[in-house]
Amino acid sequence: MELSSADGIIVVDIQRDFCPGGALPVPEGDDIVPLVNELLHKAEKSGCFIVYTRDWHPQNHMSFKTFGGTWPEHCVQWTAGAEFHPSLYLSDKGVIISKGTNPEFEAYSGFQGTDLDATLKANGVHRLFIVGLATDYCVKETALDSLQRGYDTYVVKDAVRGVNVHPNDSENALNEMEQNGAKIIFSKELLY
């Protein structure tokens, strides 16, 4: 597959808190970073539009257990845990989209409560490739919202990792994305 300026790559939430040692680690979440970096270099050379999403929660976010939510406190604005993984390649051509900034609303999708859709449309993006963390939450919701907004949506299976609160959550998420129209591919289809 050839990438072009009509394509976008969304790097979902590769942040310290979602990697081993973080507050809400995805098992082996950091293992995908070298592969994601390869994809980003290829995307950059191809003129592909690059987006990095990040959880950017206020201290009192409703998703935190302290406030009746499901998750431990994670990716709090301006903390080390909210930073991108130190090995992640950050392109100077990339755009950062912060989500989950409203303390009263959950926001797994990069499209929810952000200007991501408008930004992609303004840059002529029609096809999206999604990588990152976590397959069964933010990757899945971003992909489903992408499909709902009419983008030709691809999820790069070997460049995502899941939380797997229940054993088959990631596989079920990939199946759900595919059933809704996403194409599940491997990185080699983009890199070679």
Catalytic residues: 13, 99, 138
Neighbouring residues of 117: CB distance < 8 A, sequence distance ≥ 6: 111, 149
* DSSP symbol at 137: I
Q: In what order do the strands lie in the sheet with 152-161?
A: 95-99, 49-55, 7-12, 127-133, 152-161, 183-185
* CA–CA gap between residue 176 and residue 80 (Å, rounded): 33
> Which among 144, 95, 89, 149 has a CA at the least distance from the CA of 119?
95
Cα–Cα distance measured from residue 67 to residue 91, given in angstroms and rounded to the nearest whole number: 35
Query: CA–CA separation, 114 vs 101, rounded Å?
Result: 9
